[in-house]
Amino acid sequence: MAEIAGGKVLVLGANGFVGAAIVAELARSGRQVCAYGRAHAMEGPNVETIQGSIEDSSLLREAIAQCVDIVHVASLTTPGTSAHDPALEVLGNLLPLARVLECAHEFPQRRLVYLSSGGTVYGDLAAGASEATLLRPRSYYGAGKVAAEALIHACVETTSWQASLLRPSNLYGPGQETARGFAVVPTLFERARDGQPFQIWGDGLAVRDYCYIDDLVDAVRRALAHPPVRRFALYNVASGHTASVIDLIAACERVSGLPIATAFKPARGVDVRHVSPSNATIRTELDWEPEVDLAEGLARTWHWIEHARSAAASR
């Protein structure tokens, strides 16, 4: 791929939990980063902040013009927020993505790294799923990710762009805030502190793979650093560290030293019983290995929460 001057990386969605972590790591490693977000993103060496919406076509084109790589982590939804509103996926996520892909004819030879989902696109086939497994999402959020992947594939087939799509399992770690129907780890730690019951949908035996934020960021870095294996590449980013909801609650209790009350609710139709995608492809092609196991990741997350709480109290 021929590089343009500067070789900058454009991070779309730079203000969020994942986007901020990616910006920080790329800048630390010496890459020049354009941090694009609705709010004012982080500042520092190697970082240029661009504040605005992806749907601002003029601003978006100015950003893409100066960047050779694009990391797309922008999202306005979680599985909970779009549960009864499929239009939110279309208007909030797919339309902005389409605005990015429209630029492919005007700005050739770009590489796109897109954050999809390994936890929602496979549906009931998610246990041991490879990237070739049939996609059968049970939520509008997952369906939106499948549609986004199809749009990107069409872009790659008809332009000079290349794309690496990462499908991470349940992400967690320092910097993640609680959200309705999402971000289970910070929610559990919040329940440990406030004593309110944590709602368990079903019997609590549903199993998930949990991927620490630093491992996902390393996957992004490797996707940018390695020569593309294919013009359209798919990678599950799964740690191999799984736990049921009941087991995760017990692990959070051990780390925090606090009990977590629970309240059982009827099972929901969107919930999958077992999510543990295979990470064999990314291990082989990008030489990626998960470094942080669940116990260590939870300990780091709790330490960050406690430090942030102490800092806020001292102000």
Render each residue's pLDDT in the chain as its tens digit; 315 residues: 333 334 899 999 999 999 999 999 999 999 999 999 988 767 789 999 999 999 999 999 999 999 999 999 999 988 888 888 999 999 999 999 999 999 999 999 999 999 999 999 999 999 999 999 999 999 999 999 999 999 999 999 999 999 999 999 999 999 998 876 679 999 999 999 999 999 999 999 999 999 999 999 999 999 999 888 899 999 999 999 999 999 999 999 999 999 999 999 998 888 899 999 999 999 999 999 999 999 999 999 999 999 988 887 877
Q: How far apart are CA 262 and CA 184, in angstroms?
A: 13
Q: The domain at 75-314 falls in which architecture?
A: 3-Layer(aba) Sandwich (3.40)
Q: CA neighbours within 13 Å on the CB side: how many for 5?
A: 1
How far from 158 is each of 13, 19, 96, 109, CA to CA, in Å? 25, 28, 19, 12
- CB within 8 A of 81, min separation 6: which ones? 88, 179, 180, 181
pTM: 0.94
CB 207 within 8 A of CB 273: yes
Query: What is the amino acid identity at position 164?
Result: S
Q: Each residue of 35-70: pLDDT tens digit?
A: 999 887 677 899 999 999 999 999 999 999 999 999
Domain extents for the chain?
Answer: 75-314
